[in-house]
Amino acid sequence: MTSPFIHHVSVMNRDHKQSFQFYHKLLGLDFLLKTVNQDDLEMYHLFFGDTTGRPGTEFSVFEVKNGNDKTFGTNSLERTVFAVPSEESLTFWHERLEAAGVFTCDIEQYDGRSILRFEDQDGVQLAVMAVPQREGEAYYGRETDDIPLQHAIYGIHAFHSRVRYSAASIRSLQQLFDVEVARTFVDQQHNVTVVRLKGDTLFDQELHFIEDRHRALEVSGVGAVQHIALNATSYSHLLELEDGLLAKNMYNSGIKDREFFQSIYYREPNSLLIEIATEYTNFTKEPIDTTDFDAIPLMLPEFLEKRRGWIESKLKEQ
C-alpha cells in the first residue's frame, strides 16, 4: 500500500455536535473516534476519515468552546483539499453544499485544474478536487443514502499554507524529508510553490505554499487549522526525523506517545505548527451504527482510563 505524505489535519471548531453534523453527516466522512485532547482533558477531540481510518484520510477537530475566532492572515495553515473521484463529483458537492446553506465558491480553476472551495460552520477553509483513482490502489470512501460512492470523499489530496517566505519553509522540509519542488505558478497574484515527496504518495498528496508578504500575520482561533501532521513510515523513521530536527537546532516537543500513534511537534521557519506522526496506528476502527453523538462511547487511551469519571463529568458540563 502506498504511504501518505500528509498523515492528518487538525482544526478548531466551536461545537462538537455541529462538527459531527458537518463532517460526518454532510461531508460523509466516517466517524472514527470520540476522545479528548490529551493536553486538555476537558476538550473533545473528534477524528474523521475513510472507512478504515488510515493515515492520509484522517481529519480531526478540537472543540474550543471559548476564545476568539481566527483572524485571516499570512503565516497560516490555510486549507485542506479533499480528494474526490471525478470532475462530476465537484458538481455534486457544489449542489449538496449550497442546498445545505454552506458558504461555497463556484467551481474555479486553480493550478490548471478545477477546484471547489468552501468553509465549515466556523470558517475552516476546505476544498474538493478530482484525483482519479489509480489502478491497484485501494479506496474506502463512505457511501450513504444520499452520497453515492462515485462522489464520496476518500482522503486528503493537498494542503495549502500561506507564508511570508516560502523558500524558508521549503528548505526546512528538504532538510527532513525526501521532497522535491513539483512546480510553481501564480494564483491571484501570489506565487505558489508545490512540494511533494519523490515517488508515489497516497492520493498524490502535495503541499502548496502561497507566498504572501503583504497581509498581517494570522491570529489563530476558532476556525483555524491547529496543525498539520506529516507521515513517518515507522518509529525508526520518526527517530531519524527527531535527530534531523536536533541537528538543525529546530525547537521541538520531543517524541510523545499518544497511544494511537507516536509523534513529535515542531515550528518551522514561518511558525507553522507541524506534527510528524507514525503511519502505524494502534487503533481498530469500530463500526458506529448511530447518528446520535451522545450514544457514541468515549474512547480514552489506557493511561487516562483511571480518570474517566472526572473527564466525562467535565465534558457533560459543556
What average pLDDT does this structure show over 34-61?
94
- The span from the CA of 193 to the CA of 176, in Å, is 18
Percent of the chain with pLDDT over 90: 87
Contact 69, 224 (CB under 8 A): no
- Confidence band (pLDDT; 50, 70, 90) for 288? confident
What average pLDDT does this structure show over 86-114?
98
Q: What is the predicted pLDDT for the residue at 290?
A: 73
What is each CA distance from 115 to 79, 93, 253, in whole angstroms? Answer: 12, 11, 36
Residue pLDDT, tens place only, 139-176: 999 999 999 999 999 999 999 999 999 999 999 999 99
- Number of domains comprising the chain: 1
Q: What are phi and psi of 38, to 5 degrees?
A: -70, -15
Residue pLDDT, tens place only, 179-197: 999 999 999 999 999 999 9
Least confident of 51-55, 56-60, 116-120: 51-55
Residue 40 in any domain: the answer is yes
Residue 131 in any domain: the answer is yes
- At 87, the amino acid letter reads E
pLDDT of 318 higher than 80: no
Contact 7, 231 (CB under 8 A): yes
What average pLDDT does this structure show over 103-126?
98
Residue 50 half-sphere exposure, CB side, CA atoms within 13 Å?
Answer: 21
pLDDT of 278 higher than 90: yes
What average pLDDT does this structure show over 250-263?
92
Residue 234 in any domain: the answer is yes
Residue 133 in any domain: the answer is yes
What CATH number is associated with residue 302?
A: 3.10.180.10
pLDDT of 131 higher than 80: yes
- Cα end-to-end distance, the chain, whole Å: 41
Other residues' Cβ atoms within 10 Å of the Cβ of residue 32: 27
Residue 233 in any domain: the answer is yes
CA dihedral 219, 223, 229, 230 (to 10 degrees): -80
**Domain of 304?**
6-316
Burial class for 223, CB neighbours closer than 10 Å (0-12, 13-18, 19+): buried
Residue 1 in any domain: the answer is no
- The span from the CA of 147 to the CA of 28, in Å, is 7
Residue 254 in any domain: the answer is yes
Least confident of 115-124, 220-229, 267-276, 292-301: 292-301
Q: What is the predicted pLDDT for the residue at 103?
A: 97
